[in-house]
Amino acid sequence: SESERSLSLEAVTAHSFEEGKHLSSWKHRMSEGKDCGGGDALSNGIKKHRTSLPSPMFSRNDFSIWSILRKCIGMELSKITMPVIFNEPLSFLQRLTEYMEHTYLIHKASSFSDPVERMQVVAAFAVSAVASQWERTGKPFNPLLGETYELVRDDLGFRLISEQVSHHPPISAFHAEGLNNDFIFYGSIYPKLKFWGKSVEAEPKGTITLELLEHNEAYTWTNPTCCVHNIIVGKLWIEQYGNVEIINHKTGDKCVLNFKPCGLFGKELHKVEGYIQ
């Protein structure tokens, strides 16, 4: 119909996915302990941020997990005591800050006068949030109740605070804002995990909200389901799938994104299609 405008997101999201691919490959090398350099806090008077994980991950090559997981099929992983070798050396509160990896997309969306163009770039930002999960198979540590994490990035133009607000179920909340008071980004995540024999599925329940203050607009959406395959035998690999609806509550515009499941031959892996109506 005339009220529905189809939109291919391939060109918009390709840059974010490509950056995420290179970043995750770099993080994968760090997880093997090949690059764990820190660096000085200041360099020529300019803040220098960490370029690696704070500690290398253990190798899972000589570790048998079947004896632990065979009794956990169908159970929620948050209620199961797991070996520390499953975790990457980061808290989930730290992982939440990776939403802001492509903050430039928020600034770009705010610069457009056309609401359809703004929705297009906001959709790209929503997709970019999962780019850091490319080949990211380690589980972050569960934060303690009341634990907080703060991050200020002058170079990217935002500050963020995250907090563990519930222990059972584990719920993490975050609030970010632009240093120029141009946007507010907040939400809460309840990562519901389940073990299905050969895979672990993570359904990140919770609503994400982005407010573009210059346009007095609020966008909301949820995250796609994430699944890690071959956790018992074979090469670990990860995919996201499911539908994501982004709603502009001021104009009524809606963007529907379809994160396609991998399929039998893997042709649809990491493929996203969508339209704006």
Single-letter amino acid code for the residue at 138:
G
Q: What is the pLDDT of residues 74-86, one digit of tens each?
A: 666 666 666 777 7
* pLDDT of res. 136: 75
**Inside any domain, residue 244:** no
Tell me if 226 is assigned to some domain.
yes
What is the C-alpha separation between 147 and 163, in angstroms, rounded?
6
pLDDT tens-digit map of 95-105 = 999 999 999 99
pLDDT attached to residue 137: 72
What span, in angstroms and rounded, lies between the C-alpha atoms of 27 and 51? 10
The domain of 154 spans 12-30+66-234
Residue 143 inside a domain? The answer is: yes
209 found inside a domain:
yes
- If you average pLDDT over each of 23-27, 55-59, 171-175, 266-270, which comes out highest? 171-175
Maximal C-alpha separation, the chain: 59
Q: How far apart are CA 128 and CA 272, in angstroms?
A: 11
Q: What torsion do the CA atoms of 121, 123, 124, 130 make, to the nearest 10 degrees?
A: 150
pLDDT (0 to 100) of residue 204 = 87
| Mean pLDDT comparison of 54-68, 150-164, 183-197, highest-scoring range | 150-164
Give the tokens for residue 74: 């169908």
pLDDT for 84:
76
Is residue 121 assigned to a domain?
yes
Residue 112 resides in a domain:
yes
Per-residue model confidence (pLDDT) at position 192: 84
Check residue 31 and give its pLDDT: 41
Q: Is residue 275 part of a domain?
A: no
Please tell me the predicted confidence (pLDDT) of residue 175: 98
pLDDT at 164 exceeding the cut of 90: yes
What pLDDT is stored for residue 25 in this prediction?
44
> How many domains, in total, are found in the chain?
1
> Residue 54: inside a domain, yes or no?
no
Most confidently modeled of 23-27, 144-148, 258-262?
Answer: 144-148
